[in-house]
Chains A and B, each alone.
Chain A
Amino acid sequence: MIKDLSDIFKKASSIKEKKKLVVMAAHDEHVLDAVAVAVEKNIVDAILVGDRKKINEIAEKHNLNFDKCEIIDEKDNDNAAELSIKLIHEGEGQILMKGSLDTASYLRPIIKSKGGLRTGDLLSSLAIFKIDGYHKIWGLTDGGINIAPDMHEKASIINNAVFFFRALGIEKPKVAVLGVVERVRSNMQSTMDAAMLSKMAQRGQIKNCIVDGPLSFDNAISRQSANFKEIESDVAGDADIIVVPNIESANVLYKSIVHLAKVSPGAVIVGASVPVILTSRADTDIIKLNSIALAASVEF
């Protein structure tokens, strides 16, 4: 059972057949830093698809060792993208990671309905935290892909996150759908969406999880707070997955935890046939490494 992010590293390095990480347009120094550490820690093997000359220069400059990694020389980013996707399709790689190309160019070939990697209705971002004072790891979704998801899209976001949590070994994750308040307000769509998603889980339209909402953030992570508000809920104070109403609230919540609580999460994009890593330049090396470990520790 995974209780802490360190358990994710243990799980990743104990997997018999080491996973191969395909880095699309790998000539990016921050990404290569993280990949080198992950390879050294024996969490993954890597295939670097990108400009070999630049990769070697970065390796030399940063004193990185890619002797164990396959490097496929491809200077053109579009070709690198196509090749990376092909490697995943052929089963050569089991994790995809973004290198030196913009996010849209990275996601386009993944999302594409023909020849892409998408398995669900949509891709969504899932960040996994372990915070002092909360008894287990928990996921925050969707922090980066869907801007203002409607109810149907939120159901898909939940499905994606539940799928990943089950891959981590949490059989029936508890999902809190956040609103500003724990009551239904007809002038706050997020509270109505939350109520409907709860019922969808109860009726088996969203499977393998328990959903409750609307819950405010404190109700979701603190039983005491839920008791104070007299909320009867299987999820309150014990949430595994927290679904936020929109990208702004996700972003603010994510950054407040990272910057003020000084916690480093791991994050993956879910909804594709393999874990997809999309870290931003602003993310620290440890977040990038956590993300690789997270992706390496699950079997889809």
Chain B
Amino acid sequence: MITRLSNLSEHLKEQGTKARLVVGAALDKNVLDAVVSAKNTGFIDVTLIGDASAIEQTLIETGNNGSDIEIIDEKSDYAAGEKAIDFIREGKAQILMNGQENYRGASVITKPLLKKNSDLIKGKTISHIAVFEMENYHKLIAVTDVAINISPDLSTKANIISNAVFLMRRFGIETPKVAVLAAVEVINERMPATMHAAILSKMAQRGQIKNCIIDGPLAFDNAISEESAIYKGIKSEVSGNVDILLAPDLETAGMLYQSLIMIAKAKVASITVGAVAPIVLTTKLDTAETRLNSILLSACTYN
């Protein structure tokens, strides 16, 4: 059972598998640092695709000995992105990572990957899951979706939940508890988020969304604090013991993500799931620890 982010490497040790990480358009120093740290854990093999001489130069600058890192020379960013995806497609690597943390750079990997009818998606919903560790909450908590789905409809929300349930089950939580967030805990026809939440709860009850308990609408406080739920007269199996928080939209998820990191000083690891391989998408705001944990988290979904 993974209960802290620091358990990730322990879990990989028990899992006893080694995954290969392929990085497309590897350029950012931050990314290369994280990749080397991941390799040094002994659980991750690495292939970097990009401008080979620039990559070697950066590796030397950062004081890393890149001798056992495979580097494939491809000077065009977009071609490097495509090549990285081919690696996944051909089964040569199991984790995909974006090598650039600027906005344009992210599209190098995500654009070709997410395009319609991609054989890497097979009609599934791709979603981003951020797993937080906080001092004031007794276990890990997943927040979704911070990065991919802007304003998901009902069936997309159901898929986003299923993706997060898949991840939490990999952590050893057999039946994760899911809170569907809204501004209030009651159904209000002027707030579609509350209506979606009620419907999703019933879908879990009827077995349409499997292996989890869903309750919603719940306001954030009702979701994480049983006391707060009791105060509002809410009887819920999820309140105070939630594993997964589904935000109604990207804006809400994003603000929650940033507030947990910047104000609650939470630790986080993120993964994008739903494609044939997990994808690591990091940003400039991430710490070195976050980047490393995100790679390890992705490796945990592979065996």
Contact = CB atoms under 8 A, between A and B. Distances in A.
A199 B187 contact: yes
Interface string B193-210: 001011101110111100
A106 B189 CA distance: 32
B104 interface: no
Contacts of B155: 186
Interface string B163-207: 000000000000000000000011101000001011101110111
Interface residues of B, number: 22
A200 B154 contact: no
B186 A183 contact: no
A198 interface: yes
B189 A184 contact: no
A141 to B, nearest CB: 20
A280 interface: no
A203 interface: yes
B234 interface: yes
Interface in A173-207: 182-184, 186, 192, 194-196, 198-200, 202-205
A76 interface: no
Contacts of B154: 186, 192
Given A203-B234, A232-B205, A192 B187 contact: no
B207 A199 contact: no
A174 to B, nearest CB: 16
Contact of B198 (A186, A195, A214): A195
Contacts of B199: 184, 192, 195-196
B187 A184 contact: no
Contacts of B203: 183-184, 195
Contact of B206 (A152, A182, A192): A182
A88 B298 CA distance: 72
B187 to A, nearest CB: 5
A17 B109 CA distance: 81
Given A152-B189, A205-B186, A199 B201 contact: yes
Contacts of B195: 151, 192, 196
A183 B198 contact: no
A230 interface: yes
Interface string B216-243: 0100000000000000011100000000
Nearest to B197: A199
A231 B197 CA distance: 20
Interface residues of A, number: 21
A196 B233 contact: no
Nearest to A155: B187
A234 to B, nearest CB: 11
A183 B208 contact: yes
Given A184-B199, A192-B199, A200 B205 contact: no
A195 B233 contact: no
Nearest to B203: A184
Contacts of A184: 199, 202-203, 206, 208
A18 B206 CA distance: 48
B202 A195 contact: yes
B221 to A, nearest CB: 15
B201 A204 contact: no
Interface in B229-274: 233-235
Given A199-B198, A200-B187, A200-B198, A231 B206 contact: yes
A84 to B, nearest CB: 36
A5 B117 CA distance: 61
B135 to A, nearest CB: 31
Contact of B202 (A198, A203, A230): A198
Contacts of A182: 206
Contacts of A192: 154, 195, 199
Nearest to B209: A184
Contacts of A204: 233
B198 A196 contact: yes
| Interface hub of B187, B189, B208, B233 (most chain A Cβ within 10 A) | B187
Nearest to B184: A203
A198 B198 contact: yes
7 contacts: A151-B189, A194-B202, A195-B199, A196-B195, A199-B187, A199-B217, A200-B198
Interface of B: 153-155, 185-187, 189, 195, 197-199, 201-203, 205-208, 217, 233-235
A-B residue pairs, 10 tightest by C-beta: A195-B202, A199-B198, A196-B198, A195-B199, A184-B203, A200-B187, A203-B186, A183-B206, A186-B154, A192-B199
